[in-house]
Structure 1
Amino acid sequence: MGIVKISEEMHESLRISSNALSRSINAQAEHWMRLGMLAELYPDLDHSQLCRMLIRAEEAGGLSLKRVCDLADASPNARSATVLERAS
């Protein structure tokens, strides 16, 4: 585990969001980081599709950066089909 420095404004946003969503501040930050990573790798997917990816990844034992990058490295057509199939 490491330390990540963030602005006071971001910390306040995390605090408010974590309270609203019944998560710890760290859990909220990690959730946003996961969604951000997936959004960058899969810009063609919407929020609900990305959330379904997270659920499927958790069912499969957790979100592995290697697994996510392997999917992203696949051809765009194969990637979209695989991601959407797993997210459904």
Structure 2
Amino acid sequence: MGIVNIDDDLHDQIRKASAVSCRSINAQAAFWIRIGMLCEMNPTLSFNEIATRELKAAGVVAKSFKAALA
């Protein structure tokens, strides 16, 4: 594990996003780094497509809203 130096404005944005996402500041930064890396490696995929693939790879099974509400 290493140290990543970021400017104060970016750190403030990570802090704000982490509160909304219910993640720690470090977890939010790691999430953005991972998604950014996956986006660069898969430039033809949308964020939603990448997130869906990651969730499926983790074994998450999403139900439709109709099924979830019933």
The number of aligned residues is 59
Structure 2 segments unaligned to the other structure (5+ residues): 60-70
Letter in 2 for 1:57: A
- Whose radius of gyration is greater, 1 or 2? 2
- TM-score normalised to the size of structure 2? 0.77
Q: Which has the higher contact order (CA 8 A, sep 6+)?
A: 1
What is the aligned-residue RMSD (CA, Å)? 1.0
Query: What's the CA shift string for 1:23-71, capped at 9, x where partnerless?
Result: 0001100110111001101111011101012213333xxxxxxxxxxxx
Structure 1 segments unaligned to the other structure (5+ residues): 60-88
Q: Percent identity?
A: 41
- TM-score normalised to the size of structure 1? 0.63
